Structure 1
């Protein structure tokens, strides 16, 4: 199959497929006489594996390690569990960060009651004040003007 057929079958962009080849995640396919790449079933399977791992938000380096285990099925796979555990820890850390972000946004949203009798927006006032505090603390710069 041609690269655009492989892309359609997996939902992976053509440029991404080429990138994965350059990174060694996908073996280079044979070339036809006209220079076109000729992908086979094993390319489809491997690319589907990579795509699934990316859907789990795994970094390419970790996917490469997993592919090493796939390529050596007789070898020890103790590292696979460790790898998944590391990914789970990264996801949990991001979840904590996202919960903190949610709290900040909810607090910010609570600054708006929909009325602006003095012409000021509570959300914008809060954002300007926060930016001013960061600018002064980090750079010693002058306050932001509104």
Structure 2
């Protein structure tokens, strides 16, 4: 059994991270010691490793919860359930990359249009472009 600090240290996170996962239903201590301290088992250790690996590839807490629900009921689930989650995430990531590329291009245009000199910002082309954009924005 591991105390919260021991488990956190094993995975390079802090105690608050474990409490956060507990609050969101992703991780529950296997037991409470007589003094009220959380006690985590080897299974909890593996579950935390799973959570952290899923987080490291970009899954959200709700997506991790879904993956965990499949993980604990593997016998009654199929691979296509997991693949669907991964493919949905892949589509979202691809869309985000496209959006970020548009941001990068817009920022590059703003940066390229500015001399970056020591002049007063009264005639800054970046500020002018952003002000002009605001005036023409249909929102």
Q: Do both proteins adopt the same fold according to a TM-score greater than 0.5, normalized to the shorter chain? A: yes
* Secondary structure at the counterpart of residue 29 of structure 2: coil
Per-residue deviation at 1:40? 1.7
Root-mean-square deviation over aligned CA pairs: 2.0
Matches of 1:117 and 1:27, distance apart in 2? 58
Q: Is the 8 A contact 1:12 1:51 kept in 2?
A: no
Per-residue deviation at 1:58? 0.9
Per-residue deviation at 1:117? 8.6
What's 1:89 paired with? 91
Q: Is the 8 A contact 2:29 2:39 kept in 1?
A: no
In terms of Rg, which structure is larger?
Answer: 1
Per-residue deviation at 1:119? 5.5
Q: Relative to structure 1, is the Cα distance of residues 102 and 32 closer, same or farther in structure 2, using a 3 angstrom cutoff?
A: same
Per-residue deviation at 1:113? 2.1
Deviations 1:43-85 (A, max 9, x none): 1110111111111121222211111221123223220010100
Q: Is the 8 A contact 1:29 1:38 kept in 2?
A: yes
What's 1:121 paired with? 124
Matches of 2:121 and 2:51, distance apart in 1? 55
Residue 14 (structure 2) pairs with residue 7 (structure 1): no
TM-score by length of 2: 0.86
What's 1:43 paired with? 44
Number of residue pairs matched by the alignment:
136
Task: Give the unaligned 5+ runs of structure 1.
Answer: 139-146
Task: Give the unaligned 5+ runs of structure 2.
Answer: none
Runs of 4+ in 1 over 6 A off after TM superposition: none
Q: Relative to structure 1, is the Cα distance of residues 60 and 119 closer, same or farther in structure 2, using a 3 angstrom cutoff?
A: closer
